[in-house]
Amino acid sequence: MAAPRTNGGNADHEPRRAATTGLVVAALGIVLFNISPLLNWVNPGGDADPRTGYETDSVVPFIAYLGLGLLVALLYANKPARRGQHRGLTLVTMAVGIAAAIQCLAFAINPMGGLERGDGLATDIGVWVGLVGGAVWAVGAFLLAKDVEGDDRVDTYQQGASATR
């Protein structure tokens, strides 16, 4: 007589959950990136005032707010998700973190926001805080993404492999 089939493997077995380390690191990076638009991003030199990330480029605060939205979604998905993460959301969060870091790196190499006026712009502290925040954000999302995913077949394969030993 065959045992009744259950969804997701053994009902008595609690599946592994993703460690929250990656989520915490990503959250730290997102918060750090959200501080960067408040700081000076470019300094035109001379008697001109430095410009914050908000004044320099509207993409800077947009990416910061997108990160906050992704963080809220990750926190929400952490609770109901069977394994503590939603794989697609985690990978999107990592991709946006990488894009945020690359945008800051490109900005550090060639500052935007004053080229059409002939300003000789120099990067300021906000760019570097954003770069570090974006990198930490991407690394945290990577740490979460490399952890267990929501694929029930992983437990089934592991149980089958241990049964054959």
Is the model more confident about 136 or about 87? 136
CB 36 within 8 A of CB 60: yes
Q: Do 108 and 44 touch, CB atoms closer than 8 A?
A: no
Please give the pLDDT value at position 119: 63
pTM of the model: 0.74
Encode pLDDT of 81-115 as tens digits: 666 567 788 889 999 999 999 999 988 888 776 55
- Does residue 89 or residue 33 have the better pLDDT? 33
The pLDDT of residue 22: 86
In terms of C-beta density within 10 A (0-12 exposed, 13-18 middle, 19 or more buried), how is residue 94 classed? buried
